[in-house]
Amino acid sequence: DVKVTQSSRYLVKRTGEKVFLECVQDMDHENMFWYRQDPGLGLRLIYFSYDVKMKEKGDIPEGYSVSREKKERFSLILESASTNQTSMYLCASSLYFGGGIEAFFGQGTRLTVV
């Protein structure tokens, strides 16, 4: 069974903390994505990666960075968490377009910054 696993379901962090959100997939997918989901705004793409050590900015990269040192793992980093980064974070993975169709999602991490 295909699987995308996010390290935490719920996180509470303090303003100014460095926060790591981890995502692991076991499908040997090339592409991995990080989104944040907010009511009324849908899923907004933060960063994506199409290969190890390769990354591209999405629509809202400010305040975030990412790391992909191994194919199966894609980390989202909040360098200095702020309250406006309180959100649901979703990780996804997929094959290259043309090699596969759908993206598979993790269960999400609900992050609260206080």
Partner 1 sequence: AQKITQTQPGMFVQEKEAVTLDCTYDTSDQSYGLFWYKQPSSGEMIFLIYQGSYDEQNATEGRYSLNFQKARKSANLVISASQLGDSAMYFCAMREGPTYNTDKLIFGTGTRLQVFP
CA distances from 42 to 2, 35, 66 (A): 24, 9, 21
Nearer to partner 1, 20 or 96 (CB): 96
Nearer to partner 1, 69 or 101 (CB): 101
3-state secondary structure of 97: strand
The first and second tokens of residue 50, run together, are 């199409």
* Residue with the two structure tokens 């997939």: 25
Lay out the site mask for partner 1 across 48-77 (x = CB under 8 A, - = otherwise): x-xx--x-x-xx------------------
Q: Which amino acid is at 90?
A: L
- The footprint of partner 1 on this chain (CB under 8 A) covers a number of residues equal to 31
The rounded distance, in Å, linking the Cα atoms of 11 and 22 is 12
Of 10-18, 60-68, 71-79, 91-99, the window that binds partner 1 (rule: CB under 8 A) is: 91-99
- Can residue 14 be called a binding residue for partner 1 (CB under 8 A)? no
Q: Which residues pair with 69 in a beta bridge?
A: none
Least separation, in Å, of the C-beta of 18 and partner 1? 26
Least separation, in Å, of the C-beta of 62 and partner 1? 17
